[in-house]
């Protein structure tokens, strides 16, 4: 139960579609703060995650709620845009009120061996973020080997990432346990060397409570208890929340309830 | 509201115990001997208790077979060999072995729980390793039974006769499978003695064999102590002795069969080396070290108990190793979270503690994680000794427990010399990114099994056995059949 509530509180409730509208974002923002009002004492999710153009709307909805606003940027999901556009994209999202920026790395450059380029790009975006925390999306599904995942994690961490994140959710495979484990190890090694904590966000493909708990166990075993808060660990997911709610109510009542009893915003 | 909840979320997150249930198992209060397809009382009338090492509670009483009982069993095996089993078409023999495998699979859960209760090993291991692997050995050798002419091409072969088999307590069911399956496939009959601390799964296997309709006398299970084993080894009508256990008993068996025409295979102790080079994937290697020494509480004859780390990465490896040891769960073997279960017996725990004391006295630096162990039952914390030399007793003698020694090395030649500098030669592990180095080491290490970038990996198709004082003969795979046929 504690684990399930922890999962809820670590979710970045996400909508990243071409067809997103202000209406859709408003509904999601409400859901973020009222997951299941008929059940008391549920935490809200950690953040909502939207495109830069929707940040303003989300800010208006959430006002000064503890639910944070994360915005993808740097020509998400492909990252195929010039540096100036990526910086502008980031500055726009921050100025609209984003607390967190989810950037994508240039996977093409990375695979071509231009690691310096990738490093410099992350560092520049980090600077453009100002006070906003930076999550760096490696898009591990395109990196293809765990060695590459590890290398990209190290680059991102050294370039100033506050979080490293597996995927955009647009490419399969996304957040597999192997990939998350590899990234957690990179974070652990960095912490052992420098004493600095870096956050982790698996995103894409984690849609069941069981899988989410598997992930939490990994975090606990590899990094320890201090990472088990939404300051240092997040799930990027759109449909996970309802499954967790369903499990919480099942634990409470002993029976599974129809999905129709859980709102789908 | 959210604030309040956040506060509780910051507290420790402990896993709830996840105990495997024991309600589904079927254990009798007392077990007789399984001889000639029947359950018979021991002629001495004596029974001994077998207990659960995790809580010291008695599980069942088991018959103590003596010389007379062994004689009955061997005679039954001989009769079954002469009249039924050696005459039967090989394809029919295969069906019986296959049927045993299927029945074991159907009862996998019960077998796993009983194995955990009787041996103290974690349910995770008995469920995921011991029992499935034991089934696979029967499946594998069922496949060979009618294809032996392909196993020994251009040779004439015949079974040996009655095989006397004595197995240890570390993998009770798995060792029974390793012994029985190839013997039956090659057309032999069997008298098997399980270890006195862990007889229950072998007796459950006897029930399964009975259920399979295997002709009476083909497999006989005689429980007991060392004297029972000695009676099997010394019985004149036993044609082949297969033993897995300590080197001391192995030597004794060698002497006992000298001057007879009995065939012998011995799978004995080990002090295997696990070698980490600087270019190894360190995190994977650390997992491999953990698996190598703490698997089954270190009660593994091929346990990677001597760790050699290249000096350039020694500090890193030791730090990560300690970190990983801190996250191991030691406790109730029935808990699915448990990594390290109970030590098999009080006697063995005393042996391990004796060696730990020796290690401290020898001046080695000891590390144990700061974890709780249950107050009841036989438990031992995972233990690491650094600052160890080849001349330390703890680096020379087999401890058969969760105790690892670490030595460092500088060059490839140095580590090969050190690894081979042991009376044993059962297994070795090599961790490096470089393929050529792996092949260099596999040819030069005097060990029966060399694992590259993995450890304790077992498969029915892969032979297993030792050099030097670790024994001779191979079990598993094609090589395993060779021990159960006479080639002409």
Q: Is A180 on the interface with B (CB under 8 A)?
A: no
Determine the Cα angle at A82 with ends A81 and A84, to 5°.
125
CA dist A101 and A125 (Å) reads 9
Determine the Cα angle at A176 with ends A173 and A181, to 5°.
140
Q: Are residues B248 and B371 in the same domain?
A: no
CA dist A167 and A78 (Å) reads 11
Residue B10 lies in a domain: no
CA dist B87 and B68 (Å) reads 28
Q: CA nearest B276: which of B286, B268, B267? A: B286
Q: Give yes or no for residue B1 having a pLDDT over 80.
A: no
Residue A32 backbone phi and psi in degrees, to 5: -55, -35
Do residues B233 and B256 lie in contact, with contact meaning Cβ atoms separated by under 8 Å? yes
Q: Are residues B178 and B219 in the same domain?
A: yes
Residue B6 lies in a domain: no
With CB atoms and an 8 Å threshold, state whether A43 touches B9: yes
The pLDDT score that the predictor gives to residue A265 is 79
CA dist B241 and A33 (Å) reads 72
Enumerate the residues of chain B whose CB falls inside 8 A of the CB of residue A216: 13
Q: Are residues B72 and B141 in the same domain?
A: yes
What mean pLDDT do residues B65-86 have? 98
Domain tally for chain B? 2
Residue B126 backbone phi and psi in degrees, to 5: -65, -35
Instruction: Characterize the bridge pairing of strands B189-193 and A235-237.
Output: unpaired
Q: In what order do the strands lie in the sheet with A133-137?
A: A199-201, A163-165, A133-137, A100-104, A68-73, A47-50, A11-14, A235-237
CA dist B120 and B348 (Å) reads 12
Q: Are residues B404 and B355 in the same domain?
A: yes
pTM for the structure as a whole: 0.92
Cβ neighbours of residue B246 under 8 Å, at least 6 residues apart? B168, B268, B269
Domain CATH for B126: 3.40.605.10
Of B5, B13, B15, the CB nearest to A41: B5
The pLDDT score that the predictor gives to residue A23 is 96
Low-confidence spans in chain A with pLDDT less than 50:
none
Do residues B381 and B373 lie in contact, with contact meaning Cβ atoms separated by under 8 Å? yes
pLDDT single digits (tens) B445-472: 999 999 999 999 999 999 999 999 999 9
Q: Report residue B11's pLDDT band, with 50, 70 and 90 as the boundaries.
A: low
**Lowest pLDDT segment from B3-12, B49-58, B144-153, B450-459:** B3-12
Q: Are residues B207 and B233 in the same domain?
A: yes
B83 DSSP 8-state letter: I
Residue B20 lies in a domain: no
Q: Are residues B168 and B224 in the same domain?
A: yes
Q: Are residues B191 and B337 in the same domain?
A: no
Q: Report residue B12's pLDDT band, with 50, 70 and 90 as the boundaries.
A: confident
Residue B131 lies in a domain: yes
Asked if B234 is an active-site residue, the reply is: no
Q: Are residues B258 and B401 in the same domain?
A: no
**Where does B156-199 have alpha helices with state H?**
172-185
In this structure, is the dihedral angle defined by the CA atoms of residues B466, B472, B475 and B481, taken in order, positive or negative?
A: positive
Kindly indicate whether the domain formed by A71-250 is annotated with CATH number 3.30.70.2190. Answer: no
Residue B15 lies in a domain: no
The pLDDT score that the predictor gives to residue A40 is 85
Q: Give yes or no for residue B27 having a pLDDT over 60.
A: yes
Q: Is A6 on the interface with B (CB under 8 A)?
A: yes
Enumerate the residues of chain A whose CB falls inside 8 A of the CB of residue B369: none
Residue B243, strand partner residues: B166, B266
B77 DSSP 8-state letter: H
Give CA separation, B325 vs A69, A166, A215, B329, B369, in Å.
39, 28, 20, 9, 6
Q: Are residues B91 and B226 in the same domain?
A: yes
Do residues B34 and B220 lie in contact, with contact meaning Cβ atoms separated by under 8 Å? yes
The pLDDT score that the predictor gives to residue B13 is 86
Would you call the peptide bond into A250 cis, given omega within 30 degrees of 0 as the criterion? Answer: no
Domain CATH for B323: 3.40.309.10
Which one of B7, B10, B280, B339 makes the best mutation probe of the A interface by having the most chain A beta carbons within 10 Å? B10
Enumerate the residues of chain A whose CB falls inside 8 A of the CB of residue B12: 225
Of A40, A43, A221, the CB nearest to B327: A221
Q: Are residues B310 and B221 in the same domain?
A: no
Give the H/E segment covering residue B157. Answer: strand B157-159
CA dist A106 and A86 (Å) reads 11
Buried b (16+ CB within 10 A) or exposed e, A66-97: ebbbbbbbbbbbbbeeeeeebbbbbbbbbebb
pLDDT single digits (tens) B356-389: 999 999 999 999 999 989 999 999 999 999 999 9
Give CA separation, B271 vs B178, B292, B398, in Å.
22, 11, 6
Q: Are residues B198 and B99 in the same domain?
A: yes
Q: Give yes or no for residue B8 having a pLDDT over 50.
A: no
The pLDDT score that the predictor gives to residue B15 is 87
Domain that holds residue B286: 273-459
Task: Tell me the CB-side half-sphere exposure of residue A35, using CA atoms within 13 A.
Answer: 32
pLDDT single digits (tens) A188-217: 999 999 999 999 999 999 999 999 999 999
Enumerate the residues of chain A whose CB falls inside 8 A of the CB of residue B13: 2-3, 6, 216, 220, 225, 228
Residue B328 backbone phi and psi in degrees, to 5: -80, 145
Give CA separation, A219 vs A177, A200, A236, B238, in Å.
11, 9, 15, 56
Q: CA nearest B397: which of B469, B341, B346? A: B469
Q: Are residues B101 and B158 in the same domain?
A: yes
pLDDT single digits (tens) B273-296: 999 999 999 999 999 999 999 999
Residue B464 lies in a domain: no
CA dist B427 and B445 (Å) reads 9
ipTM, two decimals: 0.86
Residue B274 DSSP SS3:
strand
Residue B454 lies in a domain: yes
């Amino acid at each position: 139960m504690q684990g399930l509530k922890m999962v809820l509180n670590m979710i970045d409730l996400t909508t990243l579609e071409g067809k997103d509208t202000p209406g859709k974002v408003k509904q999601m923002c409400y859901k973020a703060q009222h997951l299941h009002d008929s059940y008391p004492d549920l935490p809200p999710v950690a953040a909502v995650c939207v495109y830069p153009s929707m940040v303003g709307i989300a800010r208006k909805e959430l006002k000064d709620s503890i639910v944070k606003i994360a915005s993808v940027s740097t020509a998400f999901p492909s990252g195929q845009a010039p540096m100036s556009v990526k910086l502008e994209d980031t500055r726009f999202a921050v100025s609209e009120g984003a607390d967190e920026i989810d950037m994508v790395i240039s996977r093409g450059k990375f695979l071509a061996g231009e690691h310096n380029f990738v490093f410099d790009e992350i560092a520049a975006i980090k600077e453009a973020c100002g006070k906003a925390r930076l999550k760096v999306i490696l898009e591990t599904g395109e990196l293809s080997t765990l060695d590459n995942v590890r290398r990209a994690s190290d680059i991102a961490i050294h370039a100033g990432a506050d979080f490293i994140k597996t995927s955009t959710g647009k490419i399969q495979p996304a957040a597999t346990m192997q990939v998350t484990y590899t990234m957690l190890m990179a974070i652990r090694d960095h912490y052992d060397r420098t004493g600095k904590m870096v956050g982790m966000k698996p995103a894409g493909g984690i849609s069941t409570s069981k899988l989410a708990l598997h992930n939490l166990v990994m975090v606990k075993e590899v990094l320890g208890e201090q990472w088990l808060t939404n300051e240092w660990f997040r799930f990027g997911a759109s449909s996970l929340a309802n499954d967790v709610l369903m499990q919480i109510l099942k634990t409470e009542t002993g029976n599974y309830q129809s999905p129709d009893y859980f709102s789908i915003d | 509201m959210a604030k309040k909840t956040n506060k509780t979320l910051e507290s420790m997150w402990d896993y709830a115990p996840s105990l495997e249930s024991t309600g589904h198992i079927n254990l009798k209060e007392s077990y007789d001997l399984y001889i000639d397809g029947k359950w018979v009382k021991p002629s001495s009338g004596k029974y001994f208790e077998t207990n659960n090492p995790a809580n010291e509670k008695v599980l069942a009483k088991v018959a103590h077979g003596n010389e007379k009982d062994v004689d009955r069993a061997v005679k039954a095996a001989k009769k079954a060999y002469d009249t039924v089993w050696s005459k039967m078409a090989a394809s029919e023999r295969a069906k019986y072995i296959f049927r045993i495998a299927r029945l074991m699979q159907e009862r996998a859960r019960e077998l796993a729980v009983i194995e955990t209760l009787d041996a103290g090993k974690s349910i995770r291991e008995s469920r995921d390793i011991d029992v499935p692997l034991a089934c696979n050995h029967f499946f594998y050798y069922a496949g060979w039974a009618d294809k032996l002419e392909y196993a020994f091409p251009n040779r004439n072969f015949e079974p040996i006769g009655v095989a006397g088999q004595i197995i240890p307590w570390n993998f009770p069911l798995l060792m029974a499978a390793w012994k029985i399956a190839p013997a039956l496939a090659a057309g032999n009959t069997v008298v098997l003695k399980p270890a006195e601390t862990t007889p229950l799964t072998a007796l459950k296997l006897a029930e399964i064999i009975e259920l399979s309709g295997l002709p009476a006398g083909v497999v006989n299970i005689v429980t007991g102590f060392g004297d029972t084993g000695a009676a099997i080894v010394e019985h004149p009508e036993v044609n082949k002795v297969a033993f897995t256990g300590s080197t001391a008993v192995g030597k004794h068996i060698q002497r006992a069969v000298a001057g007879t025409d009995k065939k012998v295979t011995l799978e004995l102790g080990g002090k295997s080396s696990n070698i980490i080079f600087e270019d190894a994937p360190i995190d994977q290697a650390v997992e491999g070290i953990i698996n190598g020494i703490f698997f089954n509480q270190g009660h593994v004859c091929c346990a990677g108990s001597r760790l050699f780390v290249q000096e350039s990465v020694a500090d890193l490896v030791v730090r990560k190793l300690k970190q990983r040891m801190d996250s191991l769960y030691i406790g109730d073997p029935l808990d699915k979270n448990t990594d390290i279960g109970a030590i098999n017996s009080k006697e063995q725990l005393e042996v391990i503690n004796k060696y730990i004391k020796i290690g401290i006295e020898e001046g080695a630096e000891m590390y144990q994680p700061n974890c709780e162990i249950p107050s009841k039952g036989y438990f031992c914390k995972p233990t690491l000794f650094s600052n160890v030399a080849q001349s330390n007793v703890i680096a020379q003698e087999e401890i058969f427990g969760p105790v690892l020694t670490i030595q460092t090395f500088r060059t490839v030649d140095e580590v090969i010399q050190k690894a081979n500098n042991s009376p044993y030669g059962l297994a070795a592990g090599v961790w490096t990114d470089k393929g050529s180095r792996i092949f260099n080491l596999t040819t030069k290490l005097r060990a029966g099994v060399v694992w590259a970038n993995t450890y304790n990996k077992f498969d029915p198709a892969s032979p297993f056995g030792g050099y030097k004082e670790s024994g001779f003969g191979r079990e598993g795979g094609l090589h395993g059949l060779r021990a159960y046929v006479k080639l002409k």
